Structure 1
Amino acid sequence: MTKYSIAVDIGASSGRLILGYLEDGLLKLKEIHRFENKIVKKDELFCWEADKLFQEIKNGLHKCMQMGIKPDSIGIDTWAVDFVLLDENDKPLTEAVSYRDPRTDGMMEQVFDHIMKERLYLETGIQFQKFNTIYQLYSIKQNSPEVLEKAKSFLMIPDYFNYLLTGKKVNEYTNATSTQLVNAFTKKWDAQLLDSLGINKEMFHEIKMPKTILSNLSEELIGELGFDMKVILPATHDTGSAVISVPEQDDSIYISSGTWSLIGVENYFPICITKALDYNFTNEGGIDYRYRFLKNIMGLWMIQEVRRNYQDLYSFAELVDMARSAESFKSIVDVNDDRFLKPENMIAEIRNYCQDTNQMLPIAPGEVAKCVFDSLAAIYKVAVAEIEEIFEKKFQKINVIGGGCQNEMLNQLIADVTGKEVNAGPVEATAIGNIAAQLMALGEIGDIKEARSIIKDSFEVKKYVPAQHILN
């Protein structure tokens, strides 16, 4: 009997519920519900609308019933690092504050007053980014210590939604590692690190792995929805789910391309060495205790904001076409500069950077778009070189997965600047990986190797080769 799994995949600008199931040995997908997600300002903080997002999850499940579909399971993935704190009555003490909020400005340096930077990296293996959970929590400790004193539960965004579905409180492994509070070797919350910062370690819950069947729905939700199903932990970190869709290849690097670009390789142990620290690579947890050795790069957020600044006058496809027409424009920006994290106007900030670095200013929309795409390709090239230096080997291919793999211009740029074959796809990598983890938990798929074989057979991948190879 066919098993139906629902992937709830929520990103920075939208969320969706996608139904997945096996048919004739292939994985089939059907979109059930799509909804908007955005950051709003509440009490001078930039926040996610967590309650609204959970209502949208329930709206999607109601649609399933209207379509005559009864899912066997559901799994939720979102972005990383953000969280909700609950009090002794399980009521939220805080809004779900976004990592883009400036409350973490200067917090990283204050944390280093308590913990040596090198020690923090050697124990957690996590890339230094000012918005990591550790710096968010330290900001609360500094500015609202009474909140931490009342906190009895720390739940990351998917953990919180799972709690609302089931009444069960756990912390899922792949997302927990992004906090910079999990020891890379013990795979547990780092009690010494938490003690050093004066953060109550009792509010953190047991860390559970992807493929864990958490529970059935709560009785209250069964009554509301009219059916029951299993709540299964996928890799709740969206990149953790997306990487499940990457083929098993020792000679390839992946780029999970969306609002953020995550470029790296899958590994079986953390690489917490000085060179990895110097290049600011991270060792995030993956399925089956694999590690995602990668660098977090500002991704298509920049072109999303550019489009918004143009008041959505142009589609993404039109911006790509205009960028192709601006072939002579050559200015490059550092996409990882903090000025691009949440500027008031992305176009103005790009021009300011070019002015500050004595480069030609992009004026026309096509020049602005080409500046973004060229800049992304340039930083990918640097990251590829750093990965090859750390691993002391050359990689032959780059797998681009996620929504950004539909940008054919950027795919070709990546091939050209790196000199490597680029395989683009699947587009729905995160939802696919989420569903694959659920189907493994349900016994429909044996292991990740089988899952990747099924995914490879089920979804289209486009190949791009460097321009000089075409000429040859």
Structure 2
Amino acid sequence: MSATHIAVDIGASSGRLLVGTLQDHKIDLQEVYRFDNAMIHRSGHLCWDVDELFAEIKKGIHICREKGIKPKTIGVDTWAVDYVLLDEEDQPIGPVVAYRDSRTEGIMEKVAETLSKDDIYRRTGIQFQPFNTIYQLAALKESNPEMMEKARSFLMVPDYLHYLLTGKKVNEYTNATSTQLLNAYSKKWDDALLEYLGISPDLFEEMVLPGTSLGGLRPELVQEFGCDLEVIVPATHDTASAVAAIPEAKETIYLSSGTWSLLGVENAEPICDEKAQAYNFTNEGGVDYRFRFLKNIMGFWMIQEVKRLYGDMYSFDELVQASKKVKAPSLIDVDQNRFLNPVNMIEEIQAACMENNQAVPVRSGEVAACVFHSLVKSYQAAILQIEEMNGRTFDQVNIIGGGAQNEYVNQLLANVTGKLVVSGPVEATAIGNLLVQMRATGHINTLADARKLVAASFPLKKFNPQKGEVPNG
């Protein structure tokens, strides 16, 4: 039996610790601990409580020990773009502001007045989003220049959590690419962009790849847990970890589906041309320097907000069932920034329908159907763009992540695209995290071997195209 590993996978709404062991040519996966994560209001901003997240990680390790689980390694992945700045004494400077905070409003356009988007895209290949780290740093430099002056270290959120575990500061490659400050070709921090922004390259740490060992825990943590753990850096961008766990060996379009929908393909080289920029595709880093050529689509955040507003009136399954009864749902552009963090998601959806002369959804099923069908329409458009820019067609779509459980959307996507849709595994992000750790410890040789292992270890479901409901319009 091989060693047991801990994957800490933290998303925008929850976190979990899963342990994985490779035995009998399959991955034995067990969820040990799950906890909530949510943005909080602090100092006038929407923020993350990263110290609480670290406390939850420690609680999960204690639970492992209580259950008699003896892991050998641990690695942390989270969402992208958000960061922690440390001063000369390695203390955090200010709150960890969340990407949905309004502080970056208008900053992307302001930067573009003197540094062209064309130049930024040619250098980084990263999709333009108002919350990208480049614009967060520009906003901070404008509103709180004294904080930038005090800063001596820049760590992405998972980098910071690894630092709290080990005392070692590094920047992991896959998450670093999401900042829009990394050169897509050199795969290093782009000094020219940093110089323009007035940010010292000295702020950034050594760039490391997924699979890098940071060694053992801080001595005080070894004493607290009664054991040591080797900290192995996974692909710390959660989507990069999820894509590493795509189960199909053949080439496929993937859809990492959760709070966000990330739809794309893996490429050996970045596509940073005018058409890719016009379509607003991104070239994020993946395992083994692969490029995740994808589009960032709003995702199930919208239906999560709808459910939150309805309170306990409807479960997610009840919203799905109600949406099935809607024969001609209204459609909206889910990728508008207005849906990033509206005061009231239902009212924002209704306003968007009214502005586009669509029937205004009133009942819960009508609102849910509008979200689901609009998401599928956005997926369909992105798939056509991917095929155009790659000069080929793809026969199937692999849906991974929590959103893979929505069989209604899976079937809609198969019907609309005429492609085979394969769903699973649900815990792709944690599995990809574990696979990198297993490869680092020598239990898996290649990424191709890892993906075959996923296909053998976890149930997958196939959705063939059928005649049925498709988005109207």
Q: TM-score range by the shorter chain?
A: over 0.9
| Aligned residue number for residue 192 of structure 1 | 192
The Cα of 1:248 is off from its aligned counterpart by 5.2
Distance 1:24 1:401 in 2: 24
* Superposed CA RMSD: 1.2
Distance 2:355 2:249 in 1: 42
SS state at 1:433 partner: helix
| Aligned residue number for residue 407 of structure 1 | 406
| Aligned residue number for residue 151 of structure 1 | 151
| Aligned residue number for residue 220 of structure 1 | 220
| Aligned residue number for residue 292 of structure 1 | 292
Supply the AA of the counterpart residue of 1:226: G
The Cα of 1:249 is off from its aligned counterpart by 4.6
Deviations 1:196-251 (A, max 9, x none): 11112211101100011112101011111111010001100000000011135554
Change over 3 Å in CA distance of 1:355–1:469 after alignment to 2:
closer
| Aligned residue number for residue 33 of structure 1 | 33
| Aligned residue number for residue 435 of structure 1 | 434
Deviations 1:427-457 (A, max 9, x none): 1100000000000001111111111111110
Deviations 1:171-197 (A, max 9, x none): 000000000000000000011110011
Deviations 1:241-290 (A, max 9, x none): 00011135554200000000000001111111111011000000000101
| Aligned residue number for residue 358 of structure 1 | 357
Distance 1:281 1:457 in 2: 32
Mapping 1:43-62, distance limit 5 Å: 43-62=43-62
Supply the AA of the counterpart residue of 2:421: V
Mapping 1:271-350, distance limit 5 Å: 271-326=271-326, 328-350=327-349
| Aligned residue number for residue 89 of structure 2 | 89
1:118 aligns with 2:115: no
Supply the AA of the counterpart residue of 1:383: A
SS state at 2:214 partner: strand
Distance 2:169 2:76 in 1: 14
| Aligned residue number for residue 73 of structure 2 | 73
Supply the AA of the counterpart residue of 2:446: D
Supply the AA of the counterpart residue of 2:58: K
SS state at 1:27 partner: strand
Distance 2:156 2:173 in 1: 11
| Aligned residue number for residue 444 of structure 1 | 443
| Aligned residue number for residue 377 of structure 2 | 378
Distance 1:334 1:73 in 2: 43
Distance 1:466 1:160 in 2: 44
Distance 2:167 2:102 in 1: 32
Q: Structure 1 unaligned runs (5+)?
A: none
| Aligned residue number for residue 457 of structure 1 | 456
| Aligned residue number for residue 423 of structure 1 | 422
Supply the AA of the counterpart residue of 1:69: I
Q: Number of aligned pairs?
A: 469
Supply the AA of the counterpart residue of 2:453: I
Contact 2:439 2:446 in 1 (8 A): yes
Aligned identity (percent) is: 56
The Cα of 1:329 is off from its aligned counterpart by 3.3
Supply the AA of the counterpart residue of 1:285: G
Deviations 1:64-92 (A, max 9, x none): 11001111000100000000100000010
Supply the AA of the counterpart residue of 1:409: Y
Deviations 1:144-190 (A, max 9, x none): 00100000000000000000000000000000000000000000001
| Aligned residue number for residue 11 of structure 1 | 11
The Cα of 1:2 is off from its aligned counterpart by 2.5
| Aligned residue number for residue 21 of structure 1 | 21
Contact 1:122 1:273 in 2 (8 A): yes
Distance 2:368 2:230 in 1: 44
Supply the AA of the counterpart residue of 1:334: D
| Aligned residue number for residue 390 of structure 2 | 391
Contact 2:422 2:462 in 1 (8 A): yes
Change over 3 Å in CA distance of 1:192–1:293 after alignment to 2:
same
Distance 1:248 1:427 in 2: 14
Change over 3 Å in CA distance of 1:114–1:201 after alignment to 2:
farther
Contact 2:353 2:360 in 1 (8 A): yes
Distance 1:468 1:391 in 2: 28
Deviations 1:28-65 (A, max 9, x none): 11011000000111011000111111000000000011
Contact 2:107 2:138 in 1 (8 A): yes
Distance 1:251 1:9 in 2: 26
Supply the AA of the counterpart residue of 1:93: I
Deviations 1:367-402 (A, max 9, x none): 111100000000000000000110111111000000
Supply the AA of the counterpart residue of 2:246: V
1:108 aligns with 2:104: no
Distance 2:93 2:113 in 1: 27
The Cα of 1:469 is off from its aligned counterpart by 10
Q: Structure 2 unaligned runs (5+)?
A: none
Supply the AA of the counterpart residue of 2:281: F
Contact 2:82 2:156 in 1 (8 A): yes
Contact 1:114 1:196 in 2 (8 A): no
The Cα of 1:114 is off from its aligned counterpart by 3.1
TM-score for the superposition, normalised by structure 1: 0.98
Contact 2:279 2:385 in 1 (8 A): yes
Supply the AA of the counterpart residue of 2:47: C
Supply the AA of the counterpart residue of 1:102: S
Distance 2:389 2:465 in 1: 24
Contact 2:249 2:452 in 1 (8 A): no
| Aligned residue number for residue 209 of structure 2 | 209
Supply the AA of the counterpart residue of 1:310: Y
Supply the AA of the counterpart residue of 2:185: F
Distance 2:252 2:8 in 1: 28
SS state at 1:330 partner: coil
SS state at 2:462 partner: strand
Supply the AA of the counterpart residue of 1:410: V
Supply the AA of the counterpart residue of 1:34: R
